[in-house]
Structure 1
Amino acid sequence: MINSVIIDDEPLAAGILQDYIEKVPFLNLKATFTNALEAIQYIEQEDVDLLFLDIRMPDITGVDLLKNLKKRPAAIFTTAYQEYAIEGYSLNVVDYLLKPIPFTRFVSAATKAYDYINMVKSSRSGGYAAQQEFIFIKTEYKIVKVDLSDILYIEGLKDYSKIYLKDNSKPIFTLQNLKSFESKLPQDRFIRIHRSYIVSINKINVICKNRVMIAQTDIPVSIGFKNNLQEIIFRNS
């Protein structure tokens, strides 16, 4: 869970961000401030991972606030003024959102922050103590948390992917491609056997020459990925 704080002197803009954060499962809103100076002490004392930070505010700019923090969380700048983008990126800000902010653009920035924050935490601790047991999947209107143990296989189609789940649950549709799943899913639990399929190793019931069977579904194995499957067979024989 990413602990977040909103700092924006416009109550309406802050309210929109609050609504967006409530829709994203991995974001936890800890506090909202319309006064930037009041936010500084809170950030220094509390466990804050991410700031949604307006740039042009009355007492101090978001840029100066970020520069003066002793304990600097990751930040996403939110502003109506595009000219501040370059200075924001020079501070290693995760992303820059131009108001009015579409929800899809917000989700993209939040996901980028999630990946960045987890990467930093992992590097500080020397790696995760335990393997993550779930992933977040972006669908058209929301982000869905999916347990890895529930995934049977993933099918890549022309413009989207379908995630098939156990217990006859409806497939989840997402614009994420197979390459992105291949990089995120643990290699000891998932394997790509075709340019259009990634499968859960534990869910394979039958292995034949050019196909595998998972939950009564035949899935093809292409020549280019056959070595991957043979390696799994050898490792588990």
Structure 2
Amino acid sequence: MLHAFIDESEFGAHYFILGALIVRDENLEAMNHALDEILAEYAASTEFVRPDAELHGYDMMQQKGDWDGVPLRLASSVYARAMKVIDQYAEAFYVECIDRVRQAERYVRLYNHRSTAIGYILERVHEYAHRLNEHAVTYLDDHYTAPAGRKEFIQYKSLGTFGYRSSRLDRIDEMDFHDSREFRGLQAADLCTYIYNRVTNCSDAVPKAVTAQNRLWDSIASIRSRGRCRIWP
């Protein structure tokens, strides 16, 4: 069994991004435990990090939410160690990015960027599971569009997905929306997707920031090599 954790990120009104982190069932508990251990270690050695803090890329780098008041060097250190754990225990990382500007330039009829991205990313999960002769369960971060998303998944299973290589996703057994605080897997997907957004769209940031984000991106080279990152159209 495979677990696919799907998280979203955006870059203004230009890019809508979905990242899917795929983890084998036998490695999921070990990944969760290793991520918990990182936070427990920092919580024991510093007053700033909470052991139950949510691993959220934007919050960690911008000192928001659970990471409000945490020095950037500490948050960056936690981030770097978490990414190494993710690369060690996960199977693959996929990205489907919708370029909303280019779509408007090329197509008269505009497809909903969220629905399109979800359809494409589910196709990638299905293809990976088929390649391994496995089945997958998918988890998405909870969102106000969850009811519509559940209905679309039922339609995909009965009628096929949006793409020209339509699939009924027979290798995906379940898809549902969850609170990311309850799943380290969703948090891990967020860390990877946020860094993809940064390296794709923020190459003109200050040199120190560019170096840091490139280092984080390079630290998941193994799972990236077994997945794919694509911008459509």
TM range (shorter): under 0.3
Larger RCO (alpha carbons 8 Å, 6+ apart): 2
- Tell me the TM-score normalized by structure 2: 0.24
Higher helix share: 2
- Tell me the TM-score normalized by structure 1: 0.23
Q: Radius of gyration: which is bigger?
A: 1
Higher strand share: 1
